[in-house]
Amino acid sequence: MRDLTNEIVEFIRRTSTDLPKDVEERLRAAVEKEAPGSAARGALETILKNVELSRQNSTPICQDTGTPIFYVRYPEGWSTRKLRQMIRDAMEIATQKSYMRPNAVDAIYDKNTGNNLGGDDFPYIHFEEVDADEPLTIELMLKGGGCENVGVQYSLPDNTLGAGRDLAGVRKVVLDAVQKAQGQGCAPGILGVAIGGDRGSSYIKSKEILFGKIGERNPDPEVAALEERLTQEANQLGIGPMGFGGQTTVIDTKITGLHRLPASYFVSVSYMCWAYRRRKMVVKGEEVIYD
């Protein structure tokens, strides 16, 4: 099994410093919707300058390099123990190289480990086995703390919002989440919504769905329509980039469903900031492809 530590360091560098094109395109389109000279337009223009500068200088797009969330699909026969070690070693090197900020703080002793490694869960790594003839795929999402803090979970029915256990209720709580977040999650944001599951699986799914491309819709036409509608209605709230007021508050909404207990109906909303850092690397034999 080959050592991929250096390739993973490069992968982390790209994820932290080079915003994916689909996100950048949406941000560019959003500029045109804001009035010339407005604070909202100024914010988006600064954001785009920053995106170019980070790419050019290999410096982090955002100083909060976030929670590193890895999803690894490994061919049958690979050692997850060795892959985990490579990812952890790469994370330490990427931190030394200042692609990542030291971000792992022991919650009980209030101590920053200084190398982005903490216990078994930092970085977060999810493994899944695929057939032996398939390539190794690693996906990485860097999710900042500001947007993570405005994530929220509802247990339906919610009487204050008049939200029942159906898609109409889901619509209400998601709009409430966006209104409560204001600009604090670094709007314009992207919403990951999971319906069902238990509290834990629901939150995890609401993040997992954010690995998808912008504009990818749920295969169910009714859910897909709700995704579109939520983006459009969230933008009617007028919160705007950075909460300065304006036309674009949410760039895209993604909804997925899980099985739930008869007793529970959770709706988990993960808010992703505009610095939507997620990338994929694929290893096919000797070849390493970064998307």
Partner 1 sequence: MKTIHLPASDEVIRELRVGEPVLLNGVMVTGRDAAHKWMVETFIKKTREPKGDDLQVYEELKKLLNGGIIYHCGPVVSRDENGEYRFLAAGPTTSIREEPYQADVMKHFNVKGVIGKGGMGAKTLKGCQETPGVYLHAIGGAASYIAQSVTKVLGVFKLEFGVPEALWVIEVKDFPAVVTMDSHGGSQHAAIDEASKKVLEELLAKPY
Which of 31, 117, 161, 214 is in the footprint of partner 1 by CB under 8 A?
161
Least separation in angstroms between residue 92's CB and partner 1 is: 15
N- to C-terminal Cα distance for the chain?
A: 23
Beta strands in 156-276 (DSSP E): 189-195, 250-257, 266-272
C-alpha span between 48 and 44 (Å, rounded)? 6
Considering the rule CB under 8 A, would residue 157 count as an interface residue with partner 1? no
Please tell me what DSSP assigns to residue 135. P
Which of 43, 190, 194, 223 is in the footprint of partner 1 by CB under 8 A?
43
Considering the rule CB under 8 A, would residue 244 count as an interface residue with partner 1? yes
Torsion angle, CA of 76/80/81/87, rounded to 10 degrees? Answer: 140
Angle subtended at Cα 33 by Cα 61 and Cα 57, rounded to the nearest 5 degrees? 20
| Residue with Cβ nearer partner 1 (150 or 194) | 150
Interaction residues for partner 1, span 167-226 (CB under 8 A): 167-168, 171-172, 175-176, 179, 182-184, 186
Looking only at the bridges linking them, the beta strands covering 136-143 and 67-75 are: antiparallel
Alpha-carbon separation of residue 286 from 3, 97, 135, 202 (angstroms): 11, 25, 11, 37
Which of 2, 6, 46, 199 is in the footprint of partner 1 by CB under 8 A?
46
Considering the rule CB under 8 A, would residue 281 count as an interface residue with partner 1? no
Considering the rule CB under 8 A, would residue 283 count as an interface residue with partner 1? no
C-alpha span between 231 and 189 (Å, rounded)? 10
* Beta-bridge mates of residue 136: 283
Considering the rule CB under 8 A, would residue 153 count as an interface residue with partner 1? no
**Cα R_g (the chain), whole angstroms:** 19
Q: What character string, x for contact with partner 1 (CB under 8 A) and - otherwise, covers 104-143?
A: -x----xxx-x-----------------------------
Looking only at the bridges linking them, the beta strands covering 189-195 and 250-257 are: parallel
Q: Which residue is it, tokens 């939507």?
A: 276
Considering the rule CB under 8 A, would residue 101 count as an interface residue with partner 1? yes
Least separation in angstroms between residue 34's CB and partner 1 is: 14
| Residue with Cβ nearer partner 1 (172 or 205) | 172
Residues binding partner 1 (CB under 8 A): 39, 42-43, 46-47, 49-50, 53-54, 57, 59-65, 98, 100-103, 105, 110-112, 114, 144-146, 149, 161-162, 167-168, 171-172, 175-176, 179, 182-184, 186, 233, 236-240, 242-245, 273-275
